[in-house]
Amino acid sequence: MKLSELKPGNRAKIVRLKSSDFLKRRLMDMGLVPGEVVYVEKVAPLGDPIEIVVKNYHLSLRKNEAEIIEIEEVK
């Protein structure tokens, strides 16, 4: 499942980032590393951007950035 598909109010654990370029490095520098749990706070009406909480701070991601992050939902 991709982070862009997760609904607001749900939590998920990051499995991997499916990119091997600058974007992957930038996201990892912001705390989006495999094993980290993220929480989707809200999604804009048109689906872009997505606001998540990771490591106790809020982060807004574009939909194309969230699509490279593979997750597994946590109950």
- Distance between CA 65 and CA 75 in Å, rounded? 24
Half-sphere exposure of 5 (CA within 13 A, CB side): 9
All structural domains of the chain: 3-74 (2.30.30.90)
| pLDDT, tens only, 7-33 | 999 999 999 999 878 989 999 999 999
Q: What's residue 21's pLDDT?
A: 86
Predicted TM-score (pTM) of this structure: 0.85
- Distance between CA 29 and CA 23 in Å, rounded? 10
Q: Is the pLDDT of residue 35 over 90?
A: yes
